[in-house]
Amino acid sequence: MFVIPIYIEAGITGFESPATQYKELGLSLDQLLIKHPDATFMGVASGQSMQGVGIFDGDLLIVDRAVNVSTGDVVVATYNGSFVCKIIHKEKRLLMSASDDYAPVYISPEDGFCLEGVVTRSIRLHKPCVEFQSVSHI
């Protein structure tokens, strides 16, 4: 990836060409954002229930299946046939939203529940570029 720093000065002489000071970082976005490439997938968030932790409708979620899950982690799971993005409380078996508008959901033994992974990154897409499978709220 090329990073082009642009330095703006309050002078009369104009701006220097941005291309004159570019430098190449030795990392790709994959290397910066993904720790376990073989255990990572991406999805797009849908809904407003996770805005309290900075995840908004349409954000790209990077989900790592190799990360150990702890209480308080933001996770992606399947719950009764739907993909959901929630905060998990392992001991109390709860899926919690980051909004007071949504009540916590108890995961009973009868529920269809499968933890898919921990959300390690969320990226705001100011302009959507591709179609992804959405991860919704309960």
82 is catalytic: no
Residue whose token pair is 């330095």: 7
CA dihedral 60, 65, 71, 76 (to 10 degrees): 40
How far, in Å, CA of 3 to CA of 77, rounded? 36
Residue in 28, 35, 46, 49 annotated catalytic: 49
28, 35, 86, 99: which is the annotated catalytic residue?
Answer: 86
Is 92 an active-site residue? no
Catalytic residue annotation: 49, 86
